[in-house]
Amino acid sequence: MLRPWLLANGTKLSVDMDKLLRLLREDEEFRLAVMGLLGIMDIQSGIKQLVSAIARLAESQGKSVNAMQGMTKGEERITEMLGKVTDTLAKIDEAIMNLAETLGRDIDMVERIVKAQEGLGEAVKQLVEAQRNTWEVVGQVRSDEGEVLSLLRQSIESQGRL
């Protein structure tokens, strides 16, 4: 079957379509030449480049997904560690509060001991004073004893003269 064609320069051309299709199917050199003229080779090359680029993007996206999964696991570990740190800080806070209470009780006890020591010091001063007074009295009694003895002797002597 002949088909008329009008070329760009105005020339009329009749082409046998069956023969043209048979040539395209059977003659590889002719087929490649037609493909080159139609830009199909360039299109195929572009498609190969696009397929390659898409494959690289898919690989990159896979790596990104893996990296994000790793980051998610890391965030989970950080969250878990933060929870442990928070628990530890709460325990430390509780221990500090207990120590503060113990320290308060110890300070009160030390203050009571200091007051008791002050009282003991005052009692010791009073005892020292009482002992000093006692020794003074003892000294006075001894002195008076000598006088009493002397008076007794005189009394006995005066009775003996009588």
Domain identity same for 58 and 128: yes
Domain identity same for 123 and 57: yes
- Residue 156 has a pLDDT of 84
- Residue 73 has a pLDDT of 92
- Residue 162 has a pLDDT of 57
Asked whether residue 162 is domain-assigned, the answer is no
Q: How many CB atoms lie within 10 A of CB 40?
A: 13
Q: 114: domain range?
A: 39-153
**Domains identified in the chain, total number:** 2
Written as one letter, the residue type at 126 is Q
Domain identity same for 102 and 132: yes
Q: What share of the chain is helix, strand, coil (3-state, %, to 5)?
A: 90, 5, 5
Domain identity same for 66 and 127: yes
Domain identity same for 145 and 85: yes
Please tell me the distance from the alpha carbon of residue 78 to that of residue 97, in angstroms, as a whole number: 28
The answer to whether 51 and 43 are in contact (CB under 8 A) is no
Please tell me the distance from the alpha carbon of residue 31 to that of residue 21, in angstroms, as a whole number: 10
Q: Which residues of the chain have pLDDT under 50?
A: none
Asked whether residue 133 is domain-assigned, the answer is yes
pLDDT in tens, 108-136: 999 999 999 999 999 999 999 999 999 99
- Rg value, the chain, Cα: 63
Please tell me the distance from the alpha carbon of residue 39 to that of residue 87, in angstroms, as a whole number: 71
- Residue 38 has a pLDDT of 84
